[in-house]
Structure 1
């Protein structure tokens, strides 16, 4: 082998930034240890990724595979950020069309391992034919994956749920008390958002086949945060589950393109009191309705606390961000709060000493970034697994979920204001602030994370495929 026995690992993430970024972080960690990575995705997604540090770039090869054409997919759409939820099945159909070109690449590149995402349910069969071992990399925490159940449940071989209401209570295979459940309004939203195109492969089947077909499962988590859930996954999957750490981004490794923007943001943050600001960001894909946006804005106003709000408009929207806000809102909160439109350097903002709390959509990437700096969380889940994350984080006492109507998911400005004030300043929120600061020692510890990567690599090296032949 090249590089004195170094591994060659192929990465194949799903076409969503919340998946591409952790796969890239893992790639960087492997490259730091001297291993060679082929990161496979589509041309536009590869261009979107943050720059690789120069000392790692020789070891990370970006492999660009054009996304196959699907009539119902908008032109130039290559990721979930480019489409509405109604077009998700079309994107998955195009993604499945990558099987042939990816197989050809694998045949010619002789990797020792393939690390893949849940959507590529067909990849374990390809890997088996080529005699290359493969790892399912779950970019979710163990609690979320455990709630979803074992492959037999995911594939419908074992009946677990009959109605939507069944998903609003802890499933039978969770042996300890748990509040990690779905809310009815979240389930109704998922059902409504399935879209006009019937699925050729249900989401649950993609998970089930991807997990079952893997040689083992790697997990973006750590034993210090959720030991009971990681142990449960071992039992549910009946195979090795290896936590590989939280892969927190380094401030100096990211957001170089935002330097000019950061100067202006930092100037404002520097003028604020220590831990006085609530940072508000709902990610790149989670979008609120006009009514929800209105209540969030008025809630921030009523909280009377300083805020820095990163406001993104939905994909394809031609609306001006400032027109999405209640009339006169920016004037009334001028000097106390900033509404920042477009991309903002989240990691640098969270790292700033003036930020005390983080109102988040509960995406696992953002949660890791927030807790990595000890920021207490105000939880406003919007889509996908975010509701499960919110209940999990509240159970762990690092955040407080904004109360919502169980049926329609609506929330009020008063509930926003009260939740923000509790987490940021009220006496009853002290346990959240204390616990979040404690979590900084877990989520922000790069040395601990490094040890997890070393353990993961030991396993890869011990079970490696020698030069692309069967292991």
Structure 2
């Protein structure tokens, strides 16, 4: 086959960018030429994910100033969550810059997510366009399809959910808790230049592209992929989880520390780059881990108002857990930690990237969702697939040290009925997902579909 040139331009969040990079790496390994369009400083942040392919090229972009956006901000980790809409404005103001770069590099296909104006550029310059979604298909099916919207400026809720695919957990409706309702209500708020909403920019991107691509597989979300295809009347291509096929060894200091504990005994916790706890919730969390009596490794960003995790720890905490607990505020190799023999439980925010890494591991899963898609991912894992448990929260979306500790002990207790059930279900699902050739087959089929797409007039 002739070489195909693909440009990739994702939403400026590290979770999205790394997911795009994982896909780019696998496509480059199969001979496609990939051009990734990234903010300048983001290239430095990708040093831990440094793929060496001559046909994978990075093109730096300049993020423009926007009133209210912190100086030098380039991705969501630089911007408080309530101000992410300002980053969307910055992306929209990069339209001409992106147009000029695409005009110069001349790809056959551009893969994007948030930049809903890419299809217009594609038509002008004569290339194809595809959205690539790193959130779950079930999330897209619930809130990002035409029938899910009411023209009053809010997503459908409760009794308006009649068309959801059969089998979707009934409690997925956003009235399950007030905090969940609020986490999804932002879909209708302005999110970009010209007061466009998050819902509008996402559905416009999906409606105007040539094909929709999703980071998932039919074995987990087939019915939701079919539903999305029917709603948008266009092909839906799947890449599988597109996790790296090879990973670097775990850093020696963490390998040695984890190696000091029995198999399946350590509880690992990580909440991604966007989930920043309030200080009191951070303290509830670490004390909840202490209360389990189990060894633990927590990797979180410093809570609100703190520059380090150490300054946020409760008085006497470090002395009490010395030798069995670590709270780390820097970057860690999550995938490698999850595969360490001593780790037996993963406490996650249920972002979809972490969800795939969790499902492909042997760990028990405890979920603490925060943002809207995390809440819906949790419904999928807890209520439909039954491979995880969720930490109880109050109506304000706050968990207690007791509820966290109880959830962890529930899955780690070998005599717990719930723990045995989720372990069995997770193990069976992993066997399906781990079948030889299944995941690489998704990428191979995706490459075949891309060749067909770009060769079609």
TM-score normalised by the chain length of structure 2 = 0.91
Q: 2:59 aligns with which of 35, 58, 63?
A: 63
Instruction: Measure the CA separation in 1 of the matches of 2:228 and 2:365.
Output: 26
What SS does structure 1 have at the residue aligned with 2:41?
Answer: helix
What does 1:27-426 align with in structure 2 at a 5 Å threshold?
Answer: 27-49=24-46, 50-54=48-52, 56=53, 58-117=54-113, 119-151=114-146, 153-154=148-149, 167=157, 171-179=161-169, 180-182=172-174, 183-188=177-182, 200-252=195-247, 262-314=251-303, 317-395=305-383, 396-405=385-394, 407-425=395-413, 426=415
Change (3 A) 1:128 1:465: farther
Q: Answer yes or no: is the 8 Å Cα contact 2:302–2:309 preserved in 1.
A: yes
What SS does structure 1 have at the residue aligned with 2:437?
Answer: helix
Displacement after TM superposition at 1:227 (Å)? 2.0
Instruction: Measure the CA separation in 1 of the matches of 2:194 and 2:97.
Output: 22
Instruction: Measure the CA separation in 2 of the matches of 1:339 and 1:445.
Output: 35
Deviates more, 1:108-117 or 1:203-212: 108-117
Change (3 A) 1:391 1:42: same
Unmatched runs of 5 consecutive residues or more in structure 2: none
Instruction: Measure the CA separation in 1 of the matches of 2:311 and 2:317.
Output: 10
Displacement after TM superposition at 1:186 (Å)? 2.9
Q: Answer yes or no: is the 8 Å Cα contact 1:219–1:241 preserved in 2.
A: yes
Change (3 A) 1:234 1:192: closer
Q: 2:450 aligns with which of 456, 460, 471?
A: 460
Q: Answer yes or no: is the 8 Å Cα contact 1:170–1:181 preserved in 2.
A: no
Q: 1:26 aligns with which of 23, 27, 40?
A: 23
Change (3 A) 1:276 1:172: same
Deviates more, 1:291-300 or 1:95-104: 291-300
Displacement after TM superposition at 1:169 (Å)? 6.7
Displacement after TM superposition at 1:397 (Å)? 1.1
Instruction: Measure the CA separation in 1 of the matches of 2:66 and 2:436.
Output: 42
Change (3 A) 1:169 1:300: farther
Instruction: Measure the CA separation in 2 of the matches of 1:444 and 1:248.
Output: 12
Unmatched runs of 5 consecutive residues or more in structure 1: none
Change (3 A) 1:248 1:169: farther
Displacement after TM superposition at 1:160 (Å)? 9.2
Q: Which residue of 2 aligns with 1:16?
A: 13
Instruction: Measure the CA separation in 2 of the matches of 1:397 and 1:171.
Output: 22
Q: Answer yes or no: is the 8 Å Cα contact 2:365–2:389 preserved in 1.
A: yes
TM-score normalised by the chain length of structure 1 = 0.89
Q: Which residue of 1 aligns with 2:440?
A: 450
Q: Answer yes or no: is the 8 Å Cα contact 1:374–1:439 preserved in 2.
A: no
Bigger relative contact order, structure 1 or 2 (CA pairs below 8 A, ≥6 apart): 1
Instruction: Measure the CA separation in 2 of the matches of 1:37 and 1:218.
Output: 16
Q: Answer yes or no: is the 8 Å Cα contact 1:133–1:215 preserved in 2.
A: yes
Instruction: Measure the CA separation in 2 of the matches of 1:270 and 1:377.
Output: 21
Q: Which residue of 1 aligns with 2:420?
A: 430
Change (3 A) 1:192 1:321: farther
Displacement after TM superposition at 1:314 (Å)? 4.7
Displacement after TM superposition at 1:229 (Å)? 1.7
Displacement after TM superposition at 1:440 (Å)? 2.8
- Residues 269-291 of structure 1 deviation map (CA, whole Å, 9 limit, x = unaligned): 11111111111111122011222
- Residues 283-319 of structure 1 deviation map (CA, whole Å, 9 limit, x = unaligned): 122011222222212221221122111132158x543
- Residues 41-79 of structure 1 deviation map (CA, whole Å, 9 limit, x = unaligned): 11111221244333x2x1011011111222321111000
Change (3 A) 1:19 1:321: same
Aligned residues between the structures = 448
- Residues 409-442 of structure 1 deviation map (CA, whole Å, 9 limit, x = unaligned): 1222211111001112242211111222233334
What SS does structure 2 have at the residue aligned with 1:226?
Answer: helix
